[in-house]
């Protein structure tokens, strides 16, 4: 695949990031694309490795190895190398409905399983994928898909995040009339309000949802299923319902003075910023503003990193990011071999911006927040923390043990809780009378997706728990196949 000796002749070259001190002045996307010739060169690095793992989509030790969508990566890399862009696009779209999203925000488990990565920097799979789909839009190859014949069946999809959009698009392809209900004022779910504009410009989300509308899919916004439209109304109107509402209940930190002002969930912070940006370019002031404040982000994942980058753009006075887990190694450890997802330390865009502005990485590891402090106006003013070390219990499970004498106080005017999510919106679950599993997610068997309520299916984070955009797309596709089978007796959907 690609040029037989390409991986030996050419070095990995990613789409270049804009300079940190320049990009923090705006909310535009972080990357600039490579020129077409350089992109083709990068595709040539795809090895003829015999047994590729990049598209395997299997789970090792709880983490994905290879693409969960089973993207035909060696095939479209080879087509790209030979300049066959339209053919490469065709192969890409066979498995992935939205490469323009995964090509920007996916952490690339495909690259973690790339055979070349055993000895050398991996193939730029994600960048190649994005280049192919953008070429498709530029050339006009991507058009609305209007089915020749409608089935007469109507399906309601609740939630317009990646799983809901994927499910709706697949069901529309086989002729069903699909209506997507979204409680927010814009479609996109996580893609719109969970991911900052500099990672995924919302014009690309709108480009896709506009295309879906032209294909015959209806979006009903500002409408909360189970409240603004009841379960009974939905069941009476539609032949099937698919819940793709995501994992939206944020994990809280129940410690002293949690009720202080200035403590917010990361999702509320990020969504308010994006909504104000899209509505008025921040002129309405309807967002949580870190300007001039000492900000502490609790949580070391992608959402925490997004908070760091957002606070810097808003003009924060200082920024820290607390992580209870230990610092990851710079290279794979012996118990994390290829093709497992590499559990190595990365310095993401937000941390790089913090280094450029403040001179240091904002992350502090093995730190647990014990309590908040507040003033007489109920405003948070500080955090009290303790260092932890990780040990194994009698069952071999790791747990944090506090280190005596390591207590410390940190000044804070704004605290952002970015500790993940614990399940779907309970009001929706209760309104539909849906059974939850032991983890608090909607109970629906994997690859079957049917719930305990007749005609009602579930997919994405609402079923599997907080996960990746690429998994959400896969689940939406799988749920669509099951719904199509339920409605028609069989299905030709992949």
pLDDT band at 372 (very low <50, low <70, confident <90, very high): very high
Q: What one-character-per-residue DSSP string does 299-352 give?
A: --SHHHHHHHHHHHHHT-SEEEEE-SSPPPBSS--TTS-TTSPP-B----HHHH
Q: What is the C-alpha to C-alpha distance for residues 242 and 230, in angstroms, rounded to an integer?
A: 14
Output the six-digit token pair for 342.
């590499």
Asked if residue 258 has pLDDT above 80, the reply is: yes
CATH topology agreement for domains 6-138 and 154-248+422-488: no
Task: Give the residue carrying structure tokens 């810097």.
Answer: 312
**Tens-place pLDDT, residues 55-103:** 999 988 888 899 999 999 999 999 999 999 999 999 999 999 999 999 9
**Tens-place pLDDT, residues 422-465:** 999 999 999 999 999 999 999 999 889 999 999 999 999 999 99
Asked if residue 1 has pLDDT above 70, the reply is: no
Looking at 3.50.50.60, 3.30.460.80, 1.20.140.160, 3.40.50.720, the CATH number of the domain 154-248+422-488 comes to: 3.50.50.60
Output the six-digit token pair for 335.
């118990």
- Residue pair 127/34 in contact (Cβ under 8 Å)? The answer is yes
The DSSP 8-state label assigned to residue 57 in this structure reads -
pLDDT of 60 reads 83
CA-closest candidate to residue 77, choices 127, 29, 18, 143: 127
User: CATH fold of 263-417, please?
Assistant: FAD/NAD(P)-binding domain (3.50.50)
Task: Give the residue carrying structure tokens 């200082």.
Answer: 318
Output the six-digit token pair for 261.
């002002």
CA-closest candidate to residue 302, choices 189, 418, 415, 202: 418
263: exposed, middle or buried (Cβ count in 10 Å: 0-12, 13-18, 19+):
buried
Q: Is the dihedral of CA 191, 193, 198, 203 positive or negative?
A: positive
User: How many CB atoms are located within 10 Å of the residue 307 CB?
Assistant: 30
391: exposed, middle or buried (Cβ count in 10 Å: 0-12, 13-18, 19+):
exposed
Contacts of 381 (CB under 8 A, 6+ apart): 373, 374, 375, 411, 412, 413
**Tens-place pLDDT, residues 207-254:** 999 999 999 999 999 999 999 999 999 999 999 999 999 999 999 999
Three-state secondary structure call for residue 277: helix
Q: What one-character-per-residue DSSP string does 392-427 give?
A: E-TTS-EEEEE-TT--EEEE-SEEEE---B-SS-HH
324: exposed, middle or buried (Cβ count in 10 Å: 0-12, 13-18, 19+):
middle
CA dihedral 457, 461, 462, 465 (to 10 degrees): 120
The verdict on domain 6-138 having CATH code 1.10.1060.10 is yes
The ranges assigned to domains in the chain are 6-138, 154-248+422-488, 263-417
**Tens-place pLDDT, residues 192-201:** 999 999 999 9
* Residue 125, CA distances (Å) to 90, 92, 132, 184 in order: 16, 12, 11, 33
pLDDT band at 151 (very low <50, low <70, confident <90, very high): very high
Three-state secondary structure call for residue 117: helix
The DSSP 8-state label assigned to residue 364 in this structure reads E
């Amino acid at each position: 695949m690609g040029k037989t000796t390409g991986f030996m002749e050419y070095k990995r070259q990613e789409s270049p990031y804009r300079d940190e001190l320049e990009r923090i002045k705006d909310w535009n996307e972080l990357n600039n694309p490579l020129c077409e010739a350089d992109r083709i060169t990068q595709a040539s690095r795809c090895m003829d490795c015999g047994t590729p793992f990049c598209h395997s989509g299997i789970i090792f030790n709880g983490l994905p190895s290879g693409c969960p969508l089973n993207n035909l990566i060696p095939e479209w890399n080879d087509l790209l190398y030979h300049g066959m862009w339209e053919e490469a696009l065709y192969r890409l779209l066979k498995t992935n409905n939205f490469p323009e999203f995964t090509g920007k925000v996916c952490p690339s488990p495909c690259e973690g399983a790339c055979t070349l990565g055993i000895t050398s920097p991996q193939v730029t799979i994600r960048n190649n994928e994005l280049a192919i789909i953008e070429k498709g839009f530029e050339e006009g190859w991507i058009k609305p898909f209007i089915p020749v014949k409608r089935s007469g069946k109507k399906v309601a999809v609740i939630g317009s995040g990646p799983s809901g959009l994927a499910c709706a698009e697949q069901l529309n392809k086989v002729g069903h009339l699909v209506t997507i209900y979204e409680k927010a004022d814009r479609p996109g779910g996580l893609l719109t309000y969970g991911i900052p504009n500099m990672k995924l410009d919302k014009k690309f989300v709108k480009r896709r949802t506009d295309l879906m509308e032209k294909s015959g899919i209806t979006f009903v916004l500002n409408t909360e299923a189970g409240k603004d439209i009841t379960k009974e109304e939905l069941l009476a109107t539609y032949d099937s319902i698919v819940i793709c509402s995501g994992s939206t209940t944020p994990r809280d930190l129940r410690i002293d003075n949690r009720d202080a002002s200035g403590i917010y969930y990361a999702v509320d912070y990020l969504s308010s910023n994006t909504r104000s940006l899209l509505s008025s370019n921040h002129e309405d002031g309807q967002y949580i503003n870190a300007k001039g404040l000492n900000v502490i982000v609790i949580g070391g994942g992608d959402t925490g990193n997004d908070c760091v980058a957002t606070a810097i753009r808003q003009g924060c006075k200082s920024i820290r990011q607390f992580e209870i887990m230990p610092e990851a190694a710079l290279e794979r450890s012996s118990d994390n071999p290829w093709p497992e997802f590499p559990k190595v330390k990365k310095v993401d865009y937000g941390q790089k911006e913090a280094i450029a502005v403040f001179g240091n990485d904002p992350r502090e590891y093995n730190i647990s927040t014990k309590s908040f402090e507040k003033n007489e106006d109920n405003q948070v003013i500080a955090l009290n923390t303790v260092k932890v070390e990780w040990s194994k219990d009698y069952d071999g499970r790791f747990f944090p043990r506090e280190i005596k004498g390591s207590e410390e106080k940190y000044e804070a005017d704004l605290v952002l809780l970015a500790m993940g999510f614990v399940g779907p919106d309970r009001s929706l679950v209760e309104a539909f009378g849906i059974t939850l599993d032991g983890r608090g997610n909607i109970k629906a068997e994997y690859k079957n997706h049917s719930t305990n309520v007749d005609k009602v299916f579930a997919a994405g984070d609402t079923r599997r728990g907080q996960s990746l955009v690429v998994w959400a797309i896969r689940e939406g596709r799988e749920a669509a196949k099951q719904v199509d089978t339920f409605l028609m007796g069989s299905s030709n959907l992949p």
